[in-house]
């Protein structure tokens, strides 16, 4: 077999966009229209690649309220943000999340409102989220083996997650995808079974390369890299070809099975970083604005949302954050400094 062409998101994708006046454009010309909002730092799992077992969680008073989040989003959309993803920690632990979804889905400038979840609580919330206007859900699933789930996530929960996936599919969202982190020596032997599982369920699976953002010491040797994943699937599940109808700004390289039955995405953050086309900004659950997952600095927005909204200052903070964005993370170099926050406290 010929090695699968790993199409370079920067070469093969047309990621050029015309900036309009008022867009959040950084010094590298990247337009930031994609906002990730963490609604909580709490989680009902403790995935070893993401967070430590013992954590001092934020007090509920520290979290941005739904009204504060909505006010912030309305200001961000005035600068061209039109994609919003809710995440965490585990976002479904935030009480009445569908109320926030309802507030955000009323903002007409938002073209895509999505959620990333571990799926554990989705069974009871899927319908309410759909009715509130959520468009898409990504569900994390790293193993189909109950004992391994417990080793990897430090809690039982495979059955609940699988029920959550089915509930998501049955609720009729625009799309349901799976996110899988493959770590050598931990779950690299499940790439094929996970890909087959997704194909049978007729949903896309995206493999994310393991990044140095969790609590555990990270080693490059543990990263199962994009081409290894693709080659295994191509050989053992079905031949893959690069997808043609991909979102040029999305970080995933996408492939479809030659028989047309299914899609596989690869987020090659380590072996093929996509920083050059990054369009993301993030806000943490307590209101810290971050211009990169790996940012070492952040801007505290909460004082400008509480007790009252200071729109002008928030706009200045948004512009300041974007304009100071670096070219990209450095985790393939000696210069890399791991952020103090682990993934669950940033919002993945």
Smallest distance, ligand SF4 to C-beta of residue 344, A: 4
Q: Does 317 bind ligand SAM (CB under 6 A)?
A: no
Q: What are the DSSP calls for 55-71, one per residue?
A: --PPPGGGSPPHHHHHH
C-beta of 293 vs 317, nearer to ligand SAM:
293
Partner residues linked to 253 by β-bridges: 266
Out of ligand SF4, ligand SAM, none, which partner does residue 268 contact, by CB within 5 to 8 A per kind?
Answer: none
Would you say 48 and 183 are in contact if contact means Cβ atoms under 8 Å apart? no
Partner residues linked to 181 by β-bridges: 208
Q: Does 24 bind ligand SAM (CB under 6 A)?
A: no
Interface positions with ligand SF4 (CB under 6 A): 43, 45-47, 50-51, 88-90, 118, 140, 343-344
Residue 321 CB-half CA count within 13 A: 29
Smallest distance, ligand SAM to C-beta of residue 142, A: 7
Between vectors from CA 333 to CA 332 and to CA 334, what angle results, nearest 5°?
140
Q: Does 114 bind ligand SAM (CB under 6 A)?
A: no
Euclidean distance between CA atoms 113 and 135, whole angstroms: 5
Considering only 6, 25, 39, 90, the residue that binds ligand SAM (CB under 6 A) is: 90
What is the rounded end-to-end Cα distance, in angstroms, of the chain?
Answer: 35
Q: Does 211 bind ligand SAM (CB under 6 A)?
A: yes
Out of ligand SF4, ligand SAM, none, which partner does residue 201 contact, by CB within 5 to 8 A per kind?
Answer: none
Considering only 69, 198, 264, 343, the residue that binds ligand SAM (CB under 6 A) is: 343
C-beta of 45 vs 289, nearer to ligand SAM:
45
Considering only 24, 31, 126, 181, the residue that binds ligand SAM (CB under 6 A) is: 181
Positions that interact with ligand SAM (CB under 6 A) = 43, 49-50, 87-88, 90, 116-118, 140, 179, 181, 208, 210-211, 213-214, 343-344, 348
């Amino acid at each position: 077999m010929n090695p699968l062409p790993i199409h370079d998101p920067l070469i093969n994708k047309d990621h050029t966009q015309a900036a309009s006046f008022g867009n959040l454009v950084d010094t590298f010309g990247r337009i930031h229209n994609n906002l990730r909002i963490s609604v909580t730092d709490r989680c009902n799992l403790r995935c070893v690649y993401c967070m430590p077992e013992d954590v001092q969680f934020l007090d509920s008073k520290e979290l941005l309220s739904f009204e504060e989040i909505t006010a912030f989003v309305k200001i961000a959309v005035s600068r061209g943000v039109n994609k919003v993803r809710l995440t965490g920690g585990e976002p479904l632990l935030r009480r009445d999340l569908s109320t926030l979804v309802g507030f955000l889905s009323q903002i007409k400038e938002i073209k895509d409102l999505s959620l990333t979840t571990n799926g554990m609580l989705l069974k009871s919330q899927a319908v309410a989220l759909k009715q509130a206007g959520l468009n898409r859900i990504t569900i994390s699933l790293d193993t189909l083996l109950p004992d391994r789930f417990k080793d990897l996530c430090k809690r039982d929960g495979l059955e609940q997650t699988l029920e959550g996936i089915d509930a998501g599919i049955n609720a009729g969202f625009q799309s349901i995808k799976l996110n899988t982190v493959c770590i050598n020596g931990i779950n690299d032997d499940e790439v094929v079974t996970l890909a087959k599982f997704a194909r049978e369920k007729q949903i896309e699976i995206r493999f994310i390369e393991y990044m140095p953002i969790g609590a555990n010491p990270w080693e490059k040797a543990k990263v199962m890299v994009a081409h290894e994943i693709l080659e295994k699937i191509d050989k053992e599940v079905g031949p893959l070809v690069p997808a043609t109808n991909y979102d040029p700004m999305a970080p995933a390289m996408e492939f479809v099975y030659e028989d047309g039955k299914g899609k596989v995405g690869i987020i090659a953050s380590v072996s093929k970083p996509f920083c050059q086309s990054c369009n993301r900004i993030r806000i943490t659950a307590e209101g810290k604005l971050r211009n990169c997952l790996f940012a070492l600095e952040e801007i505290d927005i909460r004082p400008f949302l509480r007790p009252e909204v200071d729109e002008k200052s928030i706009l200045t903070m948004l512009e300041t954050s974007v304009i100071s964005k670096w070219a990209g993370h450095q985790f393939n170099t000696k210069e890399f400094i791991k952020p103090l926050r682990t993934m669950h406290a940033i919002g993945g």
